[in-house]
């Protein structure tokens, strides 16, 4: 199986390659540190499996996965991120990812996830499946940001990273008015009055990196 690793940290890429070298049928054919590099790889070679980080320098892997699945539906995708599973896993699966795993996972867990996805399954930790999908109405399981649409969630994260509305509009190919409307809806749904509060909410809920 041809694997591509997309992560902007070389130490993560090297660590994953070391894990996969123990298995003759798992071959890392390329690696990328950005979505731009990944897109070139996908156009140039046959890829069966993708390890994809969320936090990349040019675009979020989470924001890219839906488009990726539309263009390359045969490619299996395992999101591999510093963000805890309970914060992003359900949304990643809804966008088309085949699994989600935290970077704190043991090598055996990584291989378990890869094998399950390779066979056509979806991978999440067992306890997370029960909490998110079998008992979705359990008190405390639904956070305010879970009510956001995927686009609203994307805009929330970009705003929380300090991007201006005009910058987000250019990045997403939308008008400034549209992004401003998204921002208003986000603040209404989260009961937030200012951009500063929005940023604090995203940081407190582990939706963006803490710098």
Residue at 209 is within a domain: no
Question: 17 with 50, same domain?
Answer: yes
| Domain's final residue, options 108, 134, 160 | 134
pLDDT at 151: 87
- What CATH number has the domain bearing residue 115? 3.40.50.2300
* Domain total in the chain: 2
pLDDT at 126: 67
Question: 35 with 129, same domain?
Answer: yes
pLDDT at 129: 61
Question: 13 with 116, same domain?
Answer: yes
| Domain's final residue, options 78, 100, 134 | 134
Alpha helices in the chain (DSSP H): 10-20, 35-44, 61-71, 85-95, 107-118, 126-129, 150-160, 165-172, 176-190, 195-204
Question: 92 with 188, same domain?
Answer: no
Question: 117 with 154, same domain?
Answer: no
Identify the domain containing residue 155 by its residue range. Answer: 144-204
Question: 101 with 13, same domain?
Answer: yes
Task: Per-residue pLDDT tens, the chain, 211 aa: give them.
Answer: 999 999 999 999 999 999 999 999 999 999 999 999 999 999 999 999 999 998 888 888 888 998 899 999 999 999 999 887 777 888 888 889 999 998 989 999 999 999 999 999 999 876 666 555 555 555 444 577 878 888 888 899 889 888 899 999 998 889 999 999 999 999 998 998 998 999 888 888 878 866 5
Q: Which residues contact 166 (CB under 8 A, 6 or more apart)?
A: 176
pLDDT at 68: 92
Question: 102 with 160, same domain?
Answer: no
Question: 114 with 154, same domain?
Answer: no
Q: Which residues contact 121 (CB under 8 A, 6 or more apart)?
A: 98
* Whether the predicted model's global pTM rises above the 0.95 cut: no
pLDDT at 30: 97
| Domain's final residue, options 73, 105, 134 | 134
């Amino acid at each position: 199986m041809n694997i591509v690793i997309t992560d902007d940290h070389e130490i993560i890429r090297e660590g994953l390659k070391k894990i996969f070298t123990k298995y003759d049928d798992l071959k890392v054919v390329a690696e990328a540190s950005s979505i731009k590099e990944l897109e070139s790889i996908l156009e140039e070679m046959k890829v069966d499996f993708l390890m994809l980080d969320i936090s990349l320098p040019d675009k979020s892997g989470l924001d890219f996965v839906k488009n990726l699945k539309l263009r390359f539906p045969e490619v299996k995708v395992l999101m591999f991120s510093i963000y805890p599973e309970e914060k992003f896993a359900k949304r990643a699966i809804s966008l088309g990812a085949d699994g989600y795993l935290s970077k704190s996972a043991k090598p055996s867990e990584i291989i378990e996830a890869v094998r399950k996805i390779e066979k056509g399954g979806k991978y999440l930790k067992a306890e997370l499946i029960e909490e998110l999908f079998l008992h979705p109405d359990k008190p405390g399981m639904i956070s305010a940001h879970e009510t956001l649409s995927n686009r609203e969630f994307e805009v929330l994260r970009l705003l929380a990273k300090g991007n201006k509305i005009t910058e987000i509009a250019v990045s997403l190919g939308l008008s400034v008015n549209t992004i401003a409307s998204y921002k208003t809806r986000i603040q209404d749904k989260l009961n937030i009055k200012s951009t500063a509060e929005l940023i604090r909410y995203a940081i407190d809920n582990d939706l963006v990196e803490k710098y």
